[in-house]
Amino acid sequence: MGIGSHTDYECLTLLYSTAPGLEVLNSGGVWVDAPPLPGALVVNIGDMMEIWTNGEFVATSHRVRPVKQERFSFPLFFAVDYDTEVKPLDLRAYLLVRADGEICRLRPRIGWVACRAAHLI
C-alpha cells in the first residue's frame, strides 16, 4: 500500500521508517528515493514553515510507493498552538545579497555565513 503525493501541514516532520518506499520530489521535479539509513531520521519541511519563511524553505513534497515488504513509518509532527497566526515573517533583516550575487544568512552569535549563489535559490 502506498500514499499519494502530498506535503505536511505542520512546521516540521521527523520520520523514522523501517523499509524503503519514501520518495521526495527534488527541485528538478524528479521523484527520488529517500531510503531509511541506520540511526537517521528524515526531516520534512511543512507548509507552515514555508509560509513563515515566505518560501525560503519549501515544504517537502513526498509520497510512499507501494512495496512488497512490510513497512512501518513513525512520524512526529511539530505544529503550533491552534490560535497562532501563520503568515510570512519579515526575513530581510536576516539576509544579505552581496555584490557578486551570493545570498548570505545571519546566524546568531556567528555572523554572516552560509552564502550561496542567488541563482540556486
Radius of gyration in angstroms for the set of CA atoms belonging to the chain, rounded to a whole number: 17
Half-sphere exposure of 8 (CA within 13 A, CB side): 20
Percent of the chain with pLDDT over 70: 75
Q: Three-state DSSP class for 4? A: strand
Cell of 17: 521508517
Per-residue pLDDT, 117: 47
pLDDT above 50 for 121: no
Per-residue pLDDT tens digits for 19-53: 999 999 998 999 999 999 999 999 999 999 999 98
Per-residue pLDDT, 92: 65
Assess if CATH 2.30.110 describes domain 3-84: no
Distances (CA, A) of 20 to 38, 68, 75: 12, 10, 15
User: Domain residue spans in the chain?
Assistant: 3-84, 90-121
Per-residue pLDDT, 17: 94
What mean pLDDT, rounded, does the chain reach? 83
pLDDT above 70 for 65: yes
Per-residue pLDDT, 71: 92
What's the pTM value of the predicted model, to 2 decimals? 0.73
Mean pLDDT, residues 72-86? 93
